[in-house]
Amino acid sequence: MANAVRAEDLRNAIANAIAESVKAYDVAAVCVSLLGLDPPKDEWDNPSSSKRVYVKSRLLSRSISDLETMARKIIEEYGDPALEQLIAYLGMTGVAGEMKNLIFAANGPKPRIVLRDAVNNVIEITDNAEFCLIYDRPLGEQALSWRELTAWWASTQGLTGSDRDSARSLYRRLDQSVADNACERLLFKTFAELYGQPSGFDLPALIPQVYLHYDPYTSRERMKAGPLPRQHMDFLLLLPHHHRVVIEVDGKQHYSYANGDASASRYAEMMKEDRALRLAGYEVYRFGGRDLMGGDASRKLVREFSAALMQKYGLG
């Protein structure tokens, strides 16, 4: 059903919702203030003859992603069952289910995790809890912003300084989890520049080293290859409406043996895991290690990607 929804369908539904909810003399202002569209070019550029035609004409060059963002704003402002149904059909409602266990930023030995209550999915870290972080607040439909993560960190650490001081403390702790990988560290540091911008604290937090699966055995304890190849994600962004974005940095171990020879099986396993994540509703973006070797070119690449990602989801 998701593939049946076209940009034209969304344009029509958005135009109909505005035409039914907004007076003609307010349509131009709503297009600018709510949808972020261009203002009228002149006094003749107005919706007096047809509100629907006026709105649709301004949506012609917009992508499916842009139209989805606008549709959600209209649903929030006015409510519209037809738009809600289209968004559901679009297949862009993100990952199903609520976030329950966010374990991340390990900077030491692997944690030992047990199910304390299997019925309610309550977990407990029995060993090495001091080397990882566990975010334990409900998320709902909103993003996990840098502001929210900073407030959680200040609360758990008993920090009483300014938000900026708490954010610097959090950044230092997260940086420890990527300190041994120069490429991941460059990506994390460059992306985090966003948080220094005006209103940057309200952008989604880039969360490093997030546990996805958990295999309780070490390689030595296990007699054969484990059933869960990718135990953690390099970076995760928890965006509004259950959208989840995974960012991976591929070193040689992702596609070659220790001696440098290419490994088709390792590459195939990585692609298999990516497909499983995408089918579950995650978006996956990959950087090659050579993309992030350092220097202005690498930082420019990350900045452009970060800006484009925020723009795609109407953030920032």
Helix axes 146-157, 163-176, angle to 10 degrees: 90
- Reported as half-sphere exposure (CB side, CA atoms, 13 A), residue 193 has a value of 14
Domain ranges of the chain: 2-90, 102-312
Instruction: For 191-211, write each residue's pLDDT tens digit.
Output: 999 999 988 999 999 999 998
Whats the size of the chain, residue-wise?
316
How would residue 58 be classed by pLDDT, with cut points 50, 70 and 90? confident
Output phi, psi for 300, to 5 deg: -65, -40
Instruction: For 112-171, write each residue's pLDDT tens digit.
Output: 877 777 677 677 788 888 999 999 888 766 789 999 999 999 999 999 989 999 999 999
**Count of C-beta atoms within a 10 Å radius of residue 96:** 8
Q: Rounded CA gap, 89 and 178, in Å?
A: 38
Show the tokens assigned to 136: 């334990």
- The beta strands (E) that lie in the chain are given as 102-104, 112-117, 122-127, 133-135, 207-211, 232-238, 244-250, 282-288
Helix spans in the chain (H): 7-21, 24-33, 51-57, 64-77, 81-90, 146-157, 163-176, 182-191, 264-279, 296-312
Surface-to-core class of residue 196, CB atoms within 10 Å of its CB (0-12 exposed, 13-18 middle, 19+ buried): exposed
> 113: helix, coil or strand?
strand
The per-residue pLDDT for 227 is 47
Report the percentage of the chain scoring pLDDT > 90: 32
Q: Rounded CA gap, 76 and 34, in Å?
A: 11
Name residues whose C-beta falls within 8 Å of residue 42's C-beta, 6 or more positions apart in sequence: none
Is the separation of the CB atoms in 7 and 63 below 8 Å? yes
The per-residue pLDDT for 174 is 97
Please list, residue by residue across 271-298, b when 16 or more beta carbons sit within 10 angstroms of its beta carbon and e when fewer do: eebbeebeeebbbbeebebebbeeeeeb
Mean pLDDT for 272-286 is 82
Q: Rounded CA gap, 206 and 193, in Å?
A: 11
The per-residue pLDDT for 1 is 35
Is the separation of the CB atoms in 159 and 166 below 8 Å? yes
Is the separation of the CB atoms in 57 and 27 below 8 Å? no
> 266: helix, coil or strand?
helix
Which strands, in side-by-side order, build the sheet including 232-238?
A: 207-211, 232-238, 244-250, 282-288
How would residue 67 be classed by pLDDT, with cut points 50, 70 and 90? confident
The mean of the pLDDT values for the chain is 83
- In order of 31, 196, 259, the CA distances from 74 in angstroms are 10, 30, 56
What is the pTM assigned to this prediction?
0.67
Q: What letter would DSSP give residue 77?
A: H
Q: Rounded CA gap, 287 and 305, in Å?
A: 10
